[in-house]
Structure 1
Amino acid sequence: MLRYTLMRLGIFVGCLVVVWGLVYSGLAPRGLGDSNGIWIVLLALVLSAPISFVVLRKERDRASERIVQRVDRMKSSLEASRSQEDVADDSARAQGQTS
């Protein structure tokens, strides 16, 4: 998951540098008044999102598989713990009834 996040951040930073260059060279429009910095960041976000969606598809799938595996392990350990509690409870009740 960290790898995916760093790759996504890298794509954003790359887009930020490209947008900054385009705005300051005059090829892309500048923001209104003092909003130039916000304009550059928002434009970089808008450009990096679809690029990340397409380019990082395989990495995103790998990360989601790891998350699913972790959740499945947690569910199975919870179920094992729950069944141990049931066995202990049943044996305690059985001992209580025989006394």
Structure 2
Amino acid sequence: MSTSPTAATLRYTGLRLGVFAGCFVVLAVLAYIGVIPESFGTANPLWLAVLAIVVSAPISLVLLRGQREAMSRQIVPRVERAKGRLNANQSMEDDAA
């Protein structure tokens, strides 16, 4: 079984990171101009990263639906084959016991 990531997985991951980076940049600019709080104490980069994760998650959920479905179509057959092998191994162990 190949454990290398598929093209759809790499594409989805790259797009997801792109959405996060875009949100981070927009939030950093908004914090710089004073629209949102710049930080809590001295945690400015961490605050912006957490906020970017929270903002980018629902955006990715909506915008990347097609890529996520394509990735799922490529992954599901491999998961099913792995489940089949696991069930076969378990039944062989049960027969041996």
Per the TM superposition, whether the score is higher than 0.5 is: yes
Question: Where does residue 94 of structure 2 map in the other structure?
Answer: none
| Identical amino acids, percent of aligned pairs | 48
Q: 1:11 aligns with which of 16, 19, 24?
A: 19
Q: 2:35 aligns with which of 27, 31, 39?
A: 27
> What does the per-residue CA deviation read over 1:26-70, in whole Å, with 9 as the maximum and x for residues that have no partner?
011121221111111111111000000000111101101100122
User: Could you list the runs of 4 or more consecutive aligned residues of structure 1 that deviate by over 6 angstroms after TM superposition?
Assistant: none
Aligned pairs (5 A) from 1:37-56: 37-56=45-64
C-alpha distance in structure 2 between counterparts of 1:24 and 1:74, whole Å: 49
CA RMSD of aligned residues (A): 2.1
Q: Which structure has greater helix proportion?
A: 1
Question: Where does residue 95 of structure 1 map in the other structure?
Answer: none
1:67 and 2:50 aligned: no
Structure 2 portions without partners, runs of 5+: 1-8, 90-97
C-alpha distance in structure 1 between counterparts of 2:18 and 2:28, whole Å: 15
User: Which of these two proteins has the greater Rg computed from alpha carbons?
Assistant: 1
- TM-score (structure 2 length as normaliser): 0.72
Q: Secondary structure at the match of 2:41?
A: coil
- TM-score (structure 1 length as normaliser): 0.71
